[in-house]
């Protein structure tokens, strides 16, 4: 029987096995920041590679790597200076700060856990209808929502808190030198729209894709990698002719859904959530959500944004950001379909999706427990592990030769310590899809066993064929 488990179990495995560590842990940690360890960095890289291939190995999308620091006017044009804020409320007793909407959402969750669904529905409806900080304040006060820290209900009013991190360029820290750490990667794409179009000789419909770090001074960080202050995003802006946005929105919502399936994420842990309220410029928006152990949470947003972004940058920069068709003389500011996914949030979804605690029954009826990370093979941090069955009779030499040869093409582990069953368990726990064992027969006929992580079955194959077998299986998984 298999069970999936809580964030705590996943957090503890992450640290123990070197997927993710708390940032600056020896100094007590820095809230909202995490470090990716030796296995985590491989998994994250594989997820990013998979996205990069899906988005740019085609003839209508090109890549970009824009700088994190940008001209401050960019963030005025984009609306981030004026509006990129969350509603914040302070508790006067504990001095704890909360995002007002999250405080209400958590309260709704508690009502539901207690079976008070009618009350929960009422508060949820009020939250959906809330259009101002005052509305949020009234919901908190009218329902006497307590501070989770002090249990009291003495609240300040709700006010806006801008999520952008400020810093300064150059040696003088004054208002004229203020710049921001980018809170999203998208603006680097918008401001380079014309550069990329001219340099690549592309015409709409075409897209620009980028992977990079983003920073948001989130009021509350929580749930491990879900909401952090430093994270990585993978965004693509697809520039199209006005009038074709519905068709392209539909295309991208399918493509992006299918990408999550290609990562091995089970369909029943994914759902689509169309936005109920749209920004004034938006024509459509939908999130893809994943069933995290704490509940459903957004992993990606797909947005039909009209010509809002390019239009704003034209207005603020005074530069034309249009496409001119030299044949038809058609001239327009392209509309944009945006796909915005968190690389680090997807990492967490992939980890939660893969994690299983399983009781396995041997042929003799004895049972054993195993933790297994069922990563899609192409995402696994280590593709294969090589073991000599015993450390004598030429087996270590044969195993080392196989390991050295496979290591040229794949991330491979070599393990000689403990009984073979224990070595399999260690690899299961980090999600290695294939374990290769060199035994007595290898010495006589050059064959080895290859054991599958999920079915735990073993096949005997020629050691010479291993490279090809592993390559084929990884390729098959990435389709």
The site for ligand ATP (CB under 6 A) is made up of: 184, 216, 218, 227-228, 231, 233, 298-301, 340-342, 344-345
Contacts 24+ apart (CB under 8 A), 398-402: 398/438, 398/442, 398/443, 398/463, 399/438, 402/436, 402/438, 402/448, 402/463, 402/466
Supply the DSSP symbol for 165: P
- The whole-angstrom separation of Cα 5 and Cα 356 is 7
User: Is the CB of residue 74 less than 8 Å from the CB of residue 84?
Assistant: no
Q: Which is nearer to ligand ATP, 55 or 436 (CB)?
A: 55
Which residue, among 126, 124, 99, has the nearest Cα to 109 in the 3D structure? Answer: 124
Beta carbon of residue 363, minimum distance to ligand ATP (angstroms, whole number): 44
Beta carbon of residue 150, minimum distance to ligand ATP (angstroms, whole number): 26
Beta carbon of residue 10, minimum distance to ligand ATP (angstroms, whole number): 16
Q: Which is nearer to ligand ATP, 210 or 233 (CB)?
A: 233
Beta carbon of residue 332, minimum distance to ligand ATP (angstroms, whole number): 26
User: Is the CB of residue 350 less than 8 Å from the CB of residue 431?
Assistant: no
Q: Which is nearer to ligand ATP, 133 or 150 (CB)?
A: 133
Beta carbon of residue 373, minimum distance to ligand ATP (angstroms, whole number): 21
User: Is the CB of residue 61 less than 8 Å from the CB of residue 55?
Assistant: yes
Q: Which is nearer to ligand ATP, 184 or 428 (CB)?
A: 184
Beta carbon of residue 346, minimum distance to ligand ATP (angstroms, whole number): 7
Q: Which is nearer to ligand ATP, 349 or 382 (CB)?
A: 349
Sorted by sequence, the CB contacts under 8 Å of residue 420 that are 6+ apart come out as: 387, 389, 437
- The whole-angstrom separation of Cα 64 and Cα 239 is 15
Beta carbon of residue 212, minimum distance to ligand ATP (angstroms, whole number): 11
Q: Which is nearer to ligand ATP, 187 or 427 (CB)?
A: 187
Query: How remote is the C-alpha of 452 from its chain's centroid?
Result: 27
Beta carbon of residue 104, minimum distance to ligand ATP (angstroms, whole number): 14
Give the DSSP H/E element, type plus range, for residue 302: strand 295-304
- The whole-angstrom separation of Cα 331 and Cα 203 is 12
Return the exposure string of 6-26: e unless at least 16 CB atoms fall within 10 Å of the residue's CB, then b.
Answer: ebeebbebbeebbbbebbeee
Six-digit token string for 372: 């297994």
Q: Which is nearer to ligand ATP, 83 or 359 (CB)?
A: 83
Sorted by sequence, the CB contacts under 8 Å of residue 247 that are 6+ apart come out as: none
Q: Which is nearer to ligand ATP, 287 or 415 (CB)?
A: 287
Q: How far is CA 341 from CA 231, 245, 292, 453, in A?
A: 11, 20, 16, 29
- Which residue has its beta carbon closest to ligand ATP? 342
Beta carbon of residue 422, minimum distance to ligand ATP (angstroms, whole number): 36
Q: Which is nearer to ligand ATP, 10 or 430 (CB)?
A: 10
């Amino acid at each position: 029987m298999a069970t999936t488990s809580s964030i705590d179990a996943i957090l503890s495995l992450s640290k123990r096995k070197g997927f993710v560590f708390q940032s600056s842990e020896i100094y007590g940690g820095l809230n909202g920041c995490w470090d990716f360890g030796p296995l985590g960095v491989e998994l994250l890289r594989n997820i990013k590679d998979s996205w990069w291939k899906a988005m740019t190995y085609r003839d209508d999308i090109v890549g970009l790597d824009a700088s994190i620091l940008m001209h401050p006017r960019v963030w005025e044009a984009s609306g981030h200076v004026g509006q990129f804020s969350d509603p914040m409320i302070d508790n006067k007793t504990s001095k704890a700060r909360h995002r007002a909407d999250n405080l209400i959402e958590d309260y709704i969750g508690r009502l539901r856990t207690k079976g008070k669904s009618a009350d929960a529905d009422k508060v949820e409806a009020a939250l959906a209808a809330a259009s101002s900080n005052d509305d949020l304040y009234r919901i908190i006060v009218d329902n006497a929502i307590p501070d989770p820290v002090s249990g009291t209900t003495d609240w300040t009013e709700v006010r806006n808190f801008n999520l952008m991190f400020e810093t300064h360029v150059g040696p003088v820290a004054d208002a004229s030198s203020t710049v921001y750490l980018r809170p999203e990667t998208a603006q680097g794409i918008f401001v380079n729209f014309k550069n990329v179009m001219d340099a690549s000789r592309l015409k709409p419909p075409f897209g620009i894709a980028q992977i990079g770090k983003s920073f948001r001074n989130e009021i509350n960080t929580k749930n491990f990698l879900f909401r952090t202050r430093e994270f990585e995003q993978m965004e693509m802006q697809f520039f199209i002719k006005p009038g074709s946005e519905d068709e392209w929105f539909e295309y991208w919502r399918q493509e992006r859904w299918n990408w999550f399936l290609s990562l091995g994420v089970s369909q029943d842990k994914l759902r689509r959530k169309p936005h109920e309220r749209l920004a004034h410029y938006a024509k459509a928006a939908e999130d893809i959500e994943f069933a995290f152990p704490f509940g459903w949470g957004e992993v990606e947003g797909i947005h039909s944004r009209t010509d809002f972004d390019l239009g704003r940058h034209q207005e603020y920069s005074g530069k034309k950001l249009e496409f001119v068709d030299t044949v038809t003389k058609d001239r327009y500011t392209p509309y944009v379909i945006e796909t915005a996914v968190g690389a680090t949030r997807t990492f967490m979804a992939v980890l939660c999706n893969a994690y299983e605690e399983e009781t396995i029954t041997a042929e003799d009826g004895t049972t054993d427990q195993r933790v297994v990370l069922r990563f899609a093979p192409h995402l696994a941090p280590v593709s294969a592990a090589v073991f000599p069955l015993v450390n004598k009779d030429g087996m270590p030499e044969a195993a080392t030769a196989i390991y050295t040869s496979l290591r040229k093409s794949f991330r491979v582990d070599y393990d000689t310590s403990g009984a073979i069953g224990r070595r399999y368990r260690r690899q299961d726990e980090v999600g290695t899809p294939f374990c290769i064992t060199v035994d007595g027969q290898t010495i006589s006929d050059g064959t080895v066993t290859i054991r599958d992580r999920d079915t735990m079955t073993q096949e005997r194959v020629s050691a010479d064929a291993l490279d090809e077998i592993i390559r084929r299986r990884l390729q098959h998984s990435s389709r």
